[in-house]
Structure 1
């Protein structure tokens, strides 16, 4: 079984996902080696800003595959299953169903050829129809359970319809596959009739107002996530230390400024225009260098320290499930671990360009207490958007010229960049394991993500690279 799954998400993002069980202690490092020609570094990209805007994580309980936990045998006896357990099993299925549809649809939208797009759409349409039927066959008869089921059923029906219609609307046009298009539209129509006429889940007033129906479905989505998606409490570290550094930097600058002022007053007799001008210059230099000195001191003190701490809680019981520490910073070449340096030395000679390393680390300690409702794993998904990198890249205006039978033609070519990525995984006291990827990208999209070979003396970890 793969320890980490890697896949391209949308045009300019990469997603990593992995699972952890009770008592696990894991450190996951990512080293992005950004070519200097990209112009990205600590002077142009603020790490904290990048983390909050472009690194998106989601942590939730996880169950292997898309199981149907709502079989009658599991809930045949009220004495064996409580209402809360029923709701948690229901939410787990509905949440994983929604996430699976979301993932498949994103992959499908990246296919631009009709011959690839429509067979995939047809398969997705069949899967959605079958899963919805199986889900509804296990509708509970008990009234106190029914409202939870109806909320999930209403949302899944609407969400599947919206995802299929959106995919069809943005897909390639082809009269050859009109039959598949009609099949998808018929399923969407049937779901609409099921919700609005057969079950009457939503009032006429709600259906007619796009804002109201959208907001209602967002509410239902949050209800479904209850007990499955973990509550996150993120806290920045070093706030007090940063204030101390600011005060210390200001004090040092003022010490120098005061010495210069005393010297200037001794040099000039009395209050003259020359003295006033000299004092103005001294204070001007103080303002210029104060921020630079503060930033330099803070970067030196902060180097290697975690930037954030995160507590993950069960949304139902509020009990702590895991604690995490997060690092994100541009690092110096000498701070790169030796095994990672050896991996990068294996690059082809033409790819050995000067790079700026960006280091991301997340250290997780999972509680030893059993999870709720029989869950055995939590899943962490971290999505890195490369859009902040892409805005610094050249569009590329070069042309390639060809001569055929005396006629000269030209073709525009795009400027491509290669980002090397080394992943390091360390479980508990086990030795670290490694993987290396090459991300080829241009200003508008990721062209490909390929896994590279490692040196023989490096321990690799199992990777599942999902096709995009």
Structure 2
């Protein structure tokens, strides 16, 4: 049973990563428990707008066993490997390499203390150096293959340099770690010289930051070919919403027509009283028709998925998987039993009034073998909390202290704690849970940590290899 990993990404975002194999079925629910003092509620935040603007995901093939695209033995005989197969292996390695560099550099960026930061930075430089050497050691000689290799090599070299320089630009100031800094700068300079020697990029491209950036974005899309799945997103309930509008309009018109006929019977002839009565009836129609339609729609929409997603292989166009997506604010009474039990056992100081935002994801993977070299699918979903942070108050308080007759003060920032509860459901398995505490202010996630579950609640336990996510 593949499990879920939750990690902080950037200042105000975190990512959820999980893997699925052929034939897997899974329902994953995330419950954001938001204190009411944050000001995030159905009136201030539209769930669908939040999903479109702050939730982004990518779904791709994944393999834990394939470490190099050109492993000796896999490509000994050119007659047994086509150009297309070679490109798929190459893209898989390059894509996973780029994602790994992104993940590792983001984790290093979260370190604030100089000593552990530069240790992690030095270790990251060594890993990058080793992987690039092993990758280039197997450069193909066939012109049909070499073009794809050069594109991937050009992008990985540039991307690694950019991620390392970005880390150094935001590094904690320290005069005691010049060796780590020189190691990083030496690697970046070596990669820049390497690309110049290979003539990967023209002088005009290198001289214009816009051109080099756009070229590398194109390279990124090329190495994603065949690895990242094509997505077809469809909004659900469009016909049902139209039917709801028609039914509500019909009911309102039936009531209005009845009232008009009765008014004409009581007030015979065209009089001022009849005109005023009809005006009042039609005014009430305009007031209540939208309310009735919205009330009916909320009732019908409750618990229904908002979108469906089809995942296709970009090469064969075969359907690899299907997903359903939910998002909405819900009431405490609608929480699943296990989630309610977790919340009921919180410390007394944490039992405050809250709003609950629910995000659900149901996935069904096709019962068919993946392309050669791929063992599973990996989905990464990034959640930005920036829409939450805009409602938070700025910290203006001060803490005073006295020492030897002198009074001093320290400014303190206002922090908020969001509880995140995950629920995983799979066929013939009991629901499993994980709970995280997210501490944030207006500018960043201060801390994201997993919290213990109450006794008797089954946890989401990681499998061997999940740490590589």
TM-score bin (small chain): over 0.9
**Structure 2: which 5+ residue stretches go unaligned?**
none
- The 1:398/1:268 distance shift into structure 2, 3 A limit, reads farther
1:29 Cα deviation after fit = 1.2
1:152 Cα deviation after fit = 0.3
TM-score normalised by L of structure 1: 0.93
Q: Superposition pairs for residues 261-340 of structure 1, below 5 Å? A: 261-262=260-261, 279-340=278-339
The answer for the alignment partner of 1:114 in structure 2 is 114
Give the secondary structure class of the aligned counterpart of 1:373. Answer: coil
- The 1:54/1:466 distance shift into structure 2, 3 A limit, reads farther
> CA contact under 8 A between 1:66 and 1:97: conserved in structure 2?
no
- Aligned-partner Cα distance in 1 for 2:384–2:62: 24
The answer for the alignment partner of 2:438 in structure 1 is 439
- Aligned-partner Cα distance in 2 for 1:444–1:385: 12
> CA contact under 8 A between 1:424 and 1:435: conserved in structure 2?
yes
The answer for the alignment partner of 2:129 in structure 1 is 129
- Aligned-partner Cα distance in 1 for 2:160–2:270: 80
- The 1:137/1:290 distance shift into structure 2, 3 A limit, reads same
The answer for the alignment partner of 2:45 in structure 1 is 45
- Aligned-partner Cα distance in 1 for 2:277–2:361: 51
Q: Superposition pairs for residues 38-117 of structure 1, below 5 Å? A: 38-64=38-64, 67-117=67-117
1:334 Cα deviation after fit = 2.0
- Aligned-partner Cα distance in 2 for 1:392–1:278: 45
1:462 Cα deviation after fit = 0.9
The answer for the alignment partner of 1:384 in structure 2 is 383
- Aligned-partner Cα distance in 1 for 2:58–2:208: 31
Structure 1, 375-384 or 179-188: larger mean CA deviation = 179-188
TM-score normalised by L of structure 2: 0.93
Structure 1, 66-75 or 328-337: larger mean CA deviation = 66-75
> CA contact under 8 A between 2:64 and 2:375: conserved in structure 1?
no
- The 1:61/1:261 distance shift into structure 2, 3 A limit, reads same
Matched, 1:355 2:325: no
1:221 Cα deviation after fit = 0.6
> CA contact under 8 A between 1:6 and 1:463: conserved in structure 2?
no
> CA contact under 8 A between 2:63 and 2:373: conserved in structure 1?
no
1:66 Cα deviation after fit = 7.1
- Aligned-partner Cα distance in 2 for 1:354–1:272: 55
CA-atom RMSD in angstroms = 2.3
The answer for the alignment partner of 2:413 in structure 1 is 414
- The 1:414/1:257 distance shift into structure 2, 3 A limit, reads farther
- The 1:273/1:459 distance shift into structure 2, 3 A limit, reads same
The answer for the alignment partner of 1:457 in structure 2 is 456
Instruction: Count how many residue pairs are aligned between Structure 1 and Structure 2.
Output: 466
- Aligned-partner Cα distance in 2 for 1:289–1:446: 43
- Aligned-partner Cα distance in 1 for 2:227–2:91: 7
> CA contact under 8 A between 1:66 and 1:96: conserved in structure 2?
no
Structure 1, 348-357 or 246-255: larger mean CA deviation = 246-255
- Aligned-partner Cα distance in 2 for 1:172–1:14: 22
Structure 1, 368-377 or 1-10: larger mean CA deviation = 1-10
> CA contact under 8 A between 2:122 and 2:184: conserved in structure 1?
yes
- The 1:43/1:253 distance shift into structure 2, 3 A limit, reads farther
The answer for the alignment partner of 1:163 in structure 2 is 163
Matched, 1:369 2:368: yes
Summarize deviations over 1:256-279 as a string: whole Å, max 9, x none: 344444555566676566665655
The answer for the alignment partner of 2:396 in structure 1 is 397
- The 1:333/1:178 distance shift into structure 2, 3 A limit, reads same
- Aligned-partner Cα distance in 2 for 1:396–1:294: 42
Give the secondary structure class of the aligned counterpart of 1:74. Answer: coil
Q: Superposition pairs for residues 149-298 of structure 1, below 5 Å? A: 149-195=149-195, 197-262=196-261, 279-298=278-297
Give the secondary structure class of the aligned counterpart of 1:17. Answer: strand
